[in-house]
């Protein structure tokens, strides 16, 4: 018998704008552009053209309705709160990794939420992320199908927001889409 679930999915959306500034050097120009961009209206930002296969959706959380009805005194309210809880303080946050494929350079793009957390929490989160990244490094990457090139991948997968290469829920979602 099928059960009812509410599934929250997230996907990256990248927008860009171009700002021309007068400055003494590159760093000054960057600082000015960043300050100016904060005040730009949404109409000045355009969605970047991203290939469908370049980024995937991520299953952020799943709510089992039956479990809520069995355990909650206000199940309808709790389900509705879950459905509306996008972008609030209780939803996961994301740190970005960028890759310039032409120069083969990768960077971590820190986000304001991360720099505002205490250093112990930053270190704890990074330790969760570094194990799967190290696994990729030590095994010369992932195969073309998203599978690890080496053995022992299961040992480094953790129940965290940032699953590498792809969580089982995400994989099921992708397979059902095709």
My answer on whether 71 and 155 are in the same domain is no
Report the number of distinct structural domains present in the chain. Answer: 2
Q: What is the pLDDT of residue 129?
A: 86
Examine the fold and report which residue of 92, 127, 147 is the final residue of a domain before the chain moves on.
Answer: 92
For residues 2 and 67, state if they share a domain: yes
Do you know the residue count of the chain? 178
Q: How confident is the model at residue 12 (pLDDT cuts 50, 70, 90)?
A: confident
**Residue position matching structure tokens 């990256």:** 12
Residues 113 and 86 in one domain: no
Share above pLDDT 70 across residues of the chain, in percent, rounded to a whole number = 74
Long-range residue pairs from 83-88, CB within 8 A, at least 24 positions apart, any chain: 83/6, 85/8, 86/8
109 by DSSP, 3-state: which?
strand
| Whether 104 and 86 share a structural domain | no
Domain match, 80 and 100 both? no
**Does one domain contain both 1 and 85?**
yes
The residue among 41 and 10 whose pLDDT is bigger is: 41
Residues 128 and 143 in one domain: yes
pTM: 0.59
Q: 130-136 long-range CB contacts below 8 Å, 24 or more apart? A: 131/156, 131/158, 132/156, 132/157, 132/158, 132/162, 132/163, 132/164, 133/164, 135/164, 136/164
User: What pLDDT band is residue 163 in, cutting at 50, 70 and 90?
Assistant: very low
105 and 174 fall within a common domain: yes
More confident residue, 122 or 170: 122
Pair 52, 134 in one domain: no
Domain boundary, last residue among 92, 115, 148:
92
Backbone angles phi, psi at 119, to 5 degrees: -65, -35
Both 1 and 87 in a single domain? Answer: yes
Say if residue 140 is in the same domain as residue 73: no
For 52-111, what is each residue's pLDDT tens digit?
A: 667 777 788 888 899 999 999 998 998 888 888 766 666 778 888 888 888 988 888 888
Query: Rounded to whole angstroms, how far apart are CA atoms 44 and 16?
Result: 9
Domain final position from 66, 92, 118: 92
- What residues make up the domain containing 37? 1-92
């Amino acid at each position: 018998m099928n059960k009812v679930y509410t599934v929250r999915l997230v996907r990256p959306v990248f927008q860009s704008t171009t700002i021309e500034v007068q400055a003494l050097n590159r760093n000054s120009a960057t600082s000015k552009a960043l300050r100016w961009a904060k005040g730009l209206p949404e109409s000045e930002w355009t969605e970047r053209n991203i290939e469908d296969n370049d980024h995937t959706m991520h299953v952020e959380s799943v709510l089992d309705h039956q479990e809520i009805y069995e355990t909650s005194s206000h199940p309808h309210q709790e389900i509705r709160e879950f459905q509306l809880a996008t972008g609030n303080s209780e939803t996961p946050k994301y740190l970005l990794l960028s890759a310039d494929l032409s120069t083969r350079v990768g960077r971590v793009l820190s986000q304001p939420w991360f720099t505002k957390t205490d250093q112990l929490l930053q270190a704890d989160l990074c330790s969760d992320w570094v194990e799967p990244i190290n696994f990729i490094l030590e095994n010369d990457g992932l195969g073309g199908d998203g599978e690890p090139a080496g053995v022992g991948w299961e040992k480094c997968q953790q129940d965290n927001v940032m699953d590498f290469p792809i969580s089982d829920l995400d994989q099921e979602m992708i397979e059902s889409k095709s």
